[in-house]
Structure 1
Amino acid sequence: MGRKDASGASGANLPVDQYRKQIGKQDYKKTKLSLKFERLKAEAKRTNTGLNTLKDAFLVIMAIVFFVLCVYAFFYLNLSTELNMDLDVD
């Protein structure tokens, strides 16, 4: 009630009311920015999950290929030394 009487009598906004409005605007901007930041963070996390899955699949495939090449190299070196030994014996 006191506020209503004060604003009606002076006809203009009190400095306290202006200060409250400025604080309200700043708080709104902060929450708006924080909401935008949280939304972008969640979206980046969602898209990053897809990339991580693709990256993990690529790493697994590369590990399998590396293992197969190691086994191939092992057998190739063993067979090639046996062939050389056969040639030296003759």
Structure 2
Amino acid sequence: MGKKDASGTRLPTIDQYRKQIGKQDYNKSKSSLKATRLRAEAKKNSSGFRDAFLVIAAILFFVLCVYAFFYLNLSTEMDLDVDVD
């Protein structure tokens, strides 16, 4: 008896879900789908430029910090070396 009841109620398959998703995408306008695709491609392509810019900025910041450290240390040592006669 249990088998008869179980065979009567079928769960939706993956193919049915895919069809539902396809119908939803088909109902969207072509312009909105194109805009979404262009935004995704722009985001994907811009990440390389952004990463390169961040690396260069980090290197410049490090060099600036080293320069400031040496400048401050050398400027205070010069003041101590001055002889007052």
TM-score of the superposed pair, with normalisation by structure 1: 0.60
Unaligned runs of 5+ in 2: 1-25
Root mean square deviation, CA, Å: 1.6
Structure 1 residue aligned with 2:51: 49
Q: Distance in 2 between matches of 1:74 and 1:25?
A: 69
Is 1:64 matched with 2:72?
A: no
Unaligned runs of 5+ in 1: 1-22
Task: Count residues in correspondence.
Answer: 60
Structure with bigger RCO (C-alpha 8 Å, 6+ apart): 1
Runs of 4+ aligned residues of structure 1 deviating over 2 Å after TM superposition are none
Q: Which of these two proteins has the greater Rg computed from alpha carbons?
A: 1
TM-score of the superposed pair, with normalisation by structure 2: 0.63
